[in-house]
Amino acid sequence: MYAFTPDRSLPRSELYRELAASARALVAGEPDGVANMANLSALIWQFVDRLNWAGFYRVVDGQLVLGPFQGKAACIRIPFGQGVCGAAAQSGETQLVPDVHAFPGHIACDAASRSELVVPVIRGGQVIAVIDLDSPEPGRFDAEDAAGIEALAKVIAAVI
């Protein structure tokens, strides 16, 4: 049993430090990327509140393909440059979207999503996946959330 018990009342920077430390512990010694992404999406779900979707899209043959996640069933394939995930994959840069309805080309996988944070996972200078967080609240994510998930992306880049 893995008993990670995040204290959601902690300052967010501290909570994200704990998330990264827990992620490091969870993937230690496990080379299977699918298993690691499955556990990591569960960990994000536990640590980060007010989400309706959290998980991975992997780069496969030049497009994004759905990976392990928490939330409702989602779109399976996303071309680079399309939607928020495709923008993150193409640019290699975090996408912080306070209002998904205002984002040109946003792909609505879950109609409940109102704001979104997508962070690329980079290994050897290449985007290999993105971490996607959706919230039913407009403006749910800010720079602190982006920094926290970017730190997580660095921790896990070698093991997914």
Q: How many residues bind ligand SME (CB under 6 A)?
A: 15
Position with the least CB separation from ligand SME: 83
| Token pair listed for 104 | 């040109």
CB of 132 to ligand SME, least distance (A): 5
Binding residue (CB under 6 A) for ligand SME from 38, 65, 74, 122: 74
Per CB under 6 A, 37 contacts ligand SME: no
Residues 52-71 that bind ligand SME (CB under 6 A): 53
**Environment class of residue 45 by beta-carbon count within 10 Å: exposed (0-12), middle (13-18) or buried (19+)?**
middle
Q: What is the dihedral sign for C-alpha 112, 117, 122, 126?
A: positive
- Separation of alpha carbons 145 and 27, rounded Å: 21
CB-wise, 10 or 79, nearer to ligand SME?
A: 79
- Count CB atoms within 10 A of the CB of residue 138: 12
Task: Note the residues at the interface with ligand SME (CB under 6 A).
Answer: 53, 74-75, 78, 83-86, 106-107, 109, 113, 116, 132, 134
